[in-house]
Amino acid sequence: MQGVARNFFTLAIVYALAGMALGLHMSISQDHTQMPVHAHTMVAGWLMSAVFAVFYHLFPVARDKMLAKIHFWLTAISGIGLLVGLFFLLGGNPAIEPVVAMSSMGFYAAMLLFAVIALPVVWKS
C-alpha cells in the first residue's frame, strides 16, 4: 500500500485498537454509557477507513490526486473530533456539542468528497 491508502489503513488500525479498548473498558467496568462512541469508532472509524484504504489501493489513479489527500485529512480530523467530542458529550459535558456538530458535518463532507472521487473512477468505461 502507498500514499493515502496506507494512511487510511493505518488510521483504521488506530480506530480499531481505540474502539476495542473502549469496549473492553465498558465490559470490565459494567458501565456502557459510551456505547455510541464505541459503535461510531468501530463503524465510522475502523470500517470506513479500511474501506477507503482498499479503494485507494485498488484504484491508484484516484490515490495520486490532491483530492485524495484532502479526503484523508478531512476524514481524519473530523472523525477524531467527532469521537473525542462525543465521548465528552456523553460523559456529561454538553458544552462540547458544537464541536460534535461541526465534526459531524466535516465527516459527512468527507463522505461526499469520497463520492465525488470514487464514483467516476468505478463507473469509467
Domain ranges of the chain: 1-122
Could you read off the pLDDT of 31-49 as tens digits, one per residue? Answer: 898 899 899 999 989 999 9
Could you read off the pLDDT of 63-113 as tens digits, one per residue? Answer: 888 999 999 999 999 999 999 999 999 999 999 999 999 999 999 999 999
Q: Which pLDDT does position 1 carry in this prediction?
A: 81
Q: Share the mean pLDDT of the chain.
A: 94
pLDDT band with cut points at 50, 70 and 90 for residue 125: low
Give pTM, 2 decimals.
Answer: 0.89
Q: Where are the alpha helices (DSSP H) in the chain?
A: 3-29, 35-40, 48-58, 60-63, 66-90, 97-123
